[in-house]
Amino acid sequence: MASKALDGLRVLVPRGGNWGDSVAALLRGHSAIPVIAPLINFAPSENVPALANAFHELNDGQFDWIAVTSATTVDVLTASGVRIPENTKIAAVGETTASALALAGHRVDFVPELDNSGRGLVKEWIDRTPGLRVLAPQSNLADTTLTDGLGALGLEVVSVSAYCTVGVPVADHIREDVVSGRISAIVISSGSVARQVAEQLAPLPESMIVACIGPRTAFDARAAGLTVQVIAEDRSSESLVETLAEYFGR
């Protein structure tokens, strides 16, 4: 049975879509009041020819692996009609991405156990045969941790922008609720969300509790100038909400 530690607290969920809806449902399970206000959205890749060529090679079986780092990438694969051949293995950055792949009809061959991030994918990578071709379709804002790391292992990595992450202006009433303290906490799922929070809502009131999904997101949030009080070690929506509830329950 869920705790009532968040009873009546308003929690800002700065992402929409399936992720925002799932987090909102989990928050309601703890008697919180979720406030969904997406600060980011996703747009088509700025380099459509490069993405189309990469997907053509993928369909043709020219990659030994594809490394998938977000559920949004899975949406792009589906929208593009990609059929990953049997000889191409699939790596997912974490269980959330693995679940999205499974729902889209793809098998998953590898998920890092200890660190669900690009760094974790590299550190735990299971197939280090030199010269293997790996496709890494990511956000236009993704850093080079994954591509540089796999390249250092002797793999041939093709990095391509699968989609663009863009900021969404926050509504005035949401900003007013943040400034006034009527919103008690905010959940942050990525560095891009953290940067939009800092850009659009900072300075946050001292009473605001910032909860991040994983150490890497917490690092990015702090780099953006945010104070982080809660870090979920497991990069899942469930862990994020449970850790937030534990914080308020103490």
- Structural domains present in the chain: 10-39+168-249 (3.40.50.10090), 43-165 (3.40.50.10090)
Could you give phi then psi for residue 136, rounded to 5 degrees?
-125, 85
Whether pLDDT at 90 is above 80: yes
- Nearest CA to 34 out of 11, 54, 57 is that of 11
Distance of CA 40 to the CA centre of its chain: 12
Give the separation between CA 69 and CA 43, rounded to whole angstroms: 17
Whether pLDDT at 135 is above 60: yes
209: left (phi over 0), alpha (psi -120 to 50) or beta: beta
Could you give phi then psi for residue 186, rounded to 5 degrees?
-140, 135
Average pLDDT over residues 101-122: 91
User: Reading across the β-sheet that carries 209-213, which strands appear in turn?
Assistant: 33-36, 10-13, 185-188, 209-213, 230-232
Hey, what are 249's tokens? 């329950």
Hey, what are 159's tokens? 């990095």
Give the separation between CA 120 and CA 112, rounded to whole angstroms: 6
- Nearest CA to 218 out of 203, 202, 230, 200 is that of 230
Q: Do residues 116 and 235 lie in contact, with contact meaning Cβ atoms separated by under 8 Å?
A: yes
- Nearest CA to 210 out of 236, 238, 178, 249 is that of 178
81: left (phi over 0), alpha (psi -120 to 50) or beta: left
Confidence of residue 3 (pLDDT cuts 50, 70, 90): low
Confidence of residue 2 (pLDDT cuts 50, 70, 90): low
Average pLDDT over residues 104-109: 95
Total Cβ atoms within 10 A of residue 67: 27
Whether pLDDT at 1 is above 60: no
Average pLDDT over residues 112-139: 92
Q: Do residues 145 and 125 lie in contact, with contact meaning Cβ atoms separated by under 8 Å?
A: no
Confidence of residue 214 (pLDDT cuts 50, 70, 90): confident
Hey, what are 241's tokens? 């909400």
Total residue length of the chain: 250
Residues of the chain above pLDDT 90, percent: 79
Average pLDDT over residues 177-186: 96
Confidence of residue 236 (pLDDT cuts 50, 70, 90): confident
Give the separation between CA 250 and CA 246, rounded to whole angstroms: 6
Whether pLDDT at 82 is above 80: yes
Give, as one character, the DSSP assignment of residue 110.
Answer: B
